[in-house]
Structure 1
Amino acid sequence: MIRKMLFVLLLGIITVAIILFMKQPAKTMTIGEYEAMPHIDVTLDELNIAISNSPDDKIHVQIQGHKLNKNMLTINEENNRFFIKEQQSKENWKENIRFRPTPTIIVQLPKSQSKSLTLKGADGDFNIEDLALDTVQVETSAGMAYLKKLSISNAELHTNDGNVTINKSAIENLNIASSAGDVAIKESTGSEHMIQTIDGQIKMTEATEQPNLHVKSVSGDIVIHYKKVPTSLQVTTVGPDIENTLPKYDKKTHMIGNGANVLSAETKDGVITIK
């Protein structure tokens, strides 16, 4: 009986200690302030990154987390390019056991002077917000990509096992390719969008009629919900289960109006819903 009581007491102490350990606030470490560069190149392994608009004409870099070290990153400037690279560290088995969130790099870029952004990562998440850029390239193995309030001419997003979320953004030319992640786009516009996923769902809400929209999923559902009823749209759908409830849609011609704009949706094993 005494042993059981001691065991329960010890378990309670350990639980409280873990909770207090987890609730300790994250720290923010300043890495530096740098001159603006038109091209930003970031290569990461495990760290997350949050990129947003700078309060001035400088590039600001910080790290936020619990266990921080300035040697986590190397920063270089060369030929109008600003490079951020995560430093690989040799970890023992104890360091691989983590109870706290992965640290996040916080980067602030001058909105009027940044032109291109290239992000390559393995397990970390990417958060990009409130910027105007010519080109964005994102490659990640198992991390998520979140884009909000962006104005981009050309964007390419590639992920193996991570979700892609785009919100309130204007992207003229967009190419998304995902192997096993979902794609969610809300209240965004563009001219030519190509969205493909092998094992994931594609969901577009509050969508706007645009010249060319092509979505394809091998084994996932596709949902396209327009904010306003399209006025001139040609619709091509391929799939085992299709539901199109758009007003004024002609099932014989597969068009609304004269079909000046194009929507193509295809899935092998999923459901297509257009409304």
Structure 2
Amino acid sequence: MKKRIVNSILLIAVSGLLSGCQQTGEKNFKEETSFEAGGIEEIEINSESWDIELQNTESENIIIAVDGKQKDKNNDPVIINNEGKKVTVKQQDEKGISGGFSFGKEGTISISIPKKKLAQITLNNTYGDIKVMNTAAENIIVSNDSGAGKIEGLSAEKGNFISKDGEWSLENSSVKELTVTSAAGDNYITNVLSSKGTITSTDGEIVMKDTIEGESLRTETKSGDITISYKETPTSLKVTANSNSFDITVDLNNFKKTVNAKNSIEGTVDEGLNKLDVVSKNGVINIMK
């Protein structure tokens, strides 16, 4: 008898929730806006839960397309503004009768940019995923609280990627000064040209494949393994690797060790003009060609 009562209460609760969702009048929301690329130098996107996608376009205009759900007919879920040479896009979750419940993806903000290097691109997202493909900027800042970030074909002078709880994937890109910071999440970086790079994680793995030798590269994680494999044998590199796990491997041609302790290996390839600094407090370190 008690089980039937509990089931009845659950049925009423679910029915009430579905009814509340229907009463909000949720409907599809689509909008497309374009701007002349020559008049825009900066794009800033602030999104709570929608996915963000940036890609290249053959068009001469910057095109912003949004496709998602609208719960409140009196308020658009995404607002696009143009002030001078800056375009801003803001997405804020709607709080209606459903109490903010979301089922599946809420929507996507897509921005298509011509082959023009913008001065500044800023992407701030709370819950959605971020994808950046074949985009150019002098400076790009991408911040994601919870969600995956995929960047491919990026060309930038400075790139700063920040994640509290999500995975970063950066591939086939050129970023002169690269900074990747994550609290809880893995970092996968493949075939990236960078003069100065800093990759740090509090609780996550760092994997760098087809690494291209630059002036300086620092990788550090408190809890996680670090693997760095070079695309070509470094020609002039000073290596410092430290781990309390006592598991460190450096396999580079012409590498000469100057320090070979349980928790630390140091040495150089040729004159050691460039620097590689690798620190993992509790993880395994592998450095190889």
- C-alpha distance after superposition, 1:212-267 (max 9, x if no partner): 00000000100001111111110001102101111211112600111011000001
1:88 aligns with 2:97: no
SS in 2 for 1:123: coil
SS in 1 for 2:213: coil
Amino acid at match of 2:255: Y
Instruction: Report the CA distance shift for 1:166/1:157 in structure 2 as closer, same or farther (over 3 A).
Output: same
What is the aligned partner in structure 2 of residue 60 from structure 1?
63
> Which of 240, 247, 269 matches 1:256?
269
1:37-76 aligned within 5 A:
37-65=40-68, 67=69, 71-76=76-81
- Render the CA deviation track for 1:98-126: whole Å, top value 9, x for unaligned: 1x434211111122152210011100111
More strand by share: 2
Aligned ranges for residues 87-126 of structure 1 at < 5 Å? Answer: 87-93=92-98, 96-98=101-103, 100-112=104-116, 114-126=118-130
Q: Partner of 1:274 in structure 2?
A: 287
- One-letter code aligned to 1:32: T
1:228 corresponds in structure 2 to 232
Q: Cα–Cα, structure 1 residues 97 and 71, in superposed 2: closer, same or farther, change >3 Å?
A: closer
State the SS of the aligned residue for 2:76.
helix
Q: What percentage of residue pairs aligned between the two structures are identical?
A: 28
Cα distance in structure 1, aligned partners of 2:85 and 2:116: 15
Match of 1:183 in 2: 187
The number of residues matched between the two structures is 247
Kindly indicate whether the alpha-carbon contact (under 8 Å) linking 2:58 and 2:115 is maintained by their aligned counterparts in 1. Answer: no
Structure 1 range deviating more: 244-253 or 190-199: 244-253
TM-score by length of 1: 0.84
Report the Cα distance in structure 1 between the residues aligned to 2:126 and 2:183, rounded to whole angstroms: 14
Cα distance between partner residues in 2 of 1:53 and 1:64: 18
Paired residue for 1:162? 166
Distance 1:150 1:200, change over 3 A: same
| Residues 94 and 100 in structure 2, CA contact (< 8 A), matched pair in contact too | no
Cα distance in 1 for partners of 2:285, 2:67 equals 41
What is the alpha-carbon distance in structure 1 between the residues aligned to residue 281 and residue 137 of structure 2?
35
Partner of 2:34: 33
Amino acid at match of 1:123: Y
Q: Is the 8 A contact 1:28 1:62 kept in 2?
A: no
Counterpart residue identity of residue 61, structure 2: K
Instruction: Give the AA of the match of 1:53.
Output: N
Task: Give, in angstroms, the shift of residue 30 of structure 1.
Answer: 3.8
- Name the CA distance, whole Å, in 2 between partners of 1:97 and 1:152: 35
Contact 2:66 2:78 survives alignment (8 Å): no
Q: Give the equivalent residue in structure 1 for 2:249.
A: 243
Q: Is the contact between residue 125 and residue 144 of structure 2 (CA under 8 Å) also seen in structure 1?
A: yes
Output the aligned Cα RMSD.
Answer: 1.9
Alignment of 1:132-151 (within 5 A): 132-151=136-155
Q: What is the CA-CA distance between 1:68 and the residue it aligns to?
A: 5.7
Q: Structure 2: any 5+ residue segments left out of the alignment?
A: 1-27, 259-265
Residue identity in the other structure for 1:265: V
Aligned to 1:214: 218
4+ runs deviating over 6 angstroms: none
Deviation at 1:34, TM superposition (A): 2.1
Shift of 1:169: 0.1
Shift of 1:134: 0.1
Deviations 1:38-65 (A, max 9, x none): 1001000000011011222211111245
1:28 Cα offset (Å): 9.1
> Hey, what's the Cα distance between the residues in 2 that align with 1:233 and 1:92?
61
